[in-house]
Structure 1
Amino acid sequence: MRLSIAYASAVMALMATQNVHAATTTVQVSDPNGGLGFTPSNINIKPGDTVSFVFHGPHTASHASASNGCAPANPQEFNFNGNSGQVFNHTFNTAGTFNLYCAIPGHCAGGMKGVILVGSGSGSSAAPATTTTSGSNSNSGGGSTSDASSLSVKASLVAAGAALLGFIM
């Protein structure tokens, strides 16, 4: 019994400390009323942080060239093509400035662009990330995708584990 409690405590401690230093920032891709833009359009994060792109309508959240904010970067760190209700997550592991734009014709020219500043912001570089894609979405730059309803899964698991630990003790 004591071994079970010790094991459960160790598992809960590991789950609770996983990604302690990493943060997630949410960026709305367009708005629910159909306006063109990213909200917020400029964000500052640390290496290892994740940006969660929440889509409202058919748009892209694409890594733009530094010299032309409405053209793809080469190589692209991320390139998500989504529809309303879809969420794409990307973890930025390398410091740099990552220009952001919507690649649908006319959207970038209409103001749908922004900047993600990671760490010091010197230069733009690519870092590999895990990619998982469901359905017919385009996700060519690394990251992950999920439905908006699945974002609280980790929190639910931690809460369930904590409840179980309380029950065991």
Structure 2
Amino acid sequence: MLPKGLAVLTVRARPGHASQGFLQAGKLVFPCALGHGGISAAKREGDGATPLASMRILSGYFRGDRFAGGRRTRLAMTPIGRDLGWCEVPGDRNYNRPVKIPYGASHERMLRTDDLYDACLVLDWNIVPRRRGRGSAIFFHLARPGLTPTQGCVAVTARTMARLLPLLSERTVVRVVR
């Protein structure tokens, strides 16, 4: 049984599988996917690592047409539109920020053909202060089948996300540990 609200989600790597992990929510533990670069205390743009850090959940995005659970949470959740992107160019003025597509610099499209961002929570990694090259778009989102590696995010199944969302708030911290 999950508690009424969660202050901390603790994430650690699965022994022998650096790109998979376990997410502890209260007394329950769920499998999760991590970055293909494992967990790193020296996170850099493009290294594929999940930051070794405590990151607060700021807000989220959801696909209302594909993930109804996006409305059952205390988090500020914004529907994903066709024009939503996330800038990933360290030298750009909007680095690690949402941008409106079309956008001149390289960006990630938030409206994806797969289901990874059907529920996507923004973690406060490298948001304030923002440091060029320290990594962008570190999210807590849905996992691919088989919990295959992410680009540095923490990802869970849609079922796990639907269970957790009602218990999360802007006070919830995702703590990645070793």
State TM-score, norm by structure 1: 0.32
Higher relative contact order (CA 8 A, sep 6+): 2
Higher helix share: 1
State TM-score, norm by structure 2: 0.31
Q: Which has more radius of gyration?
A: 1
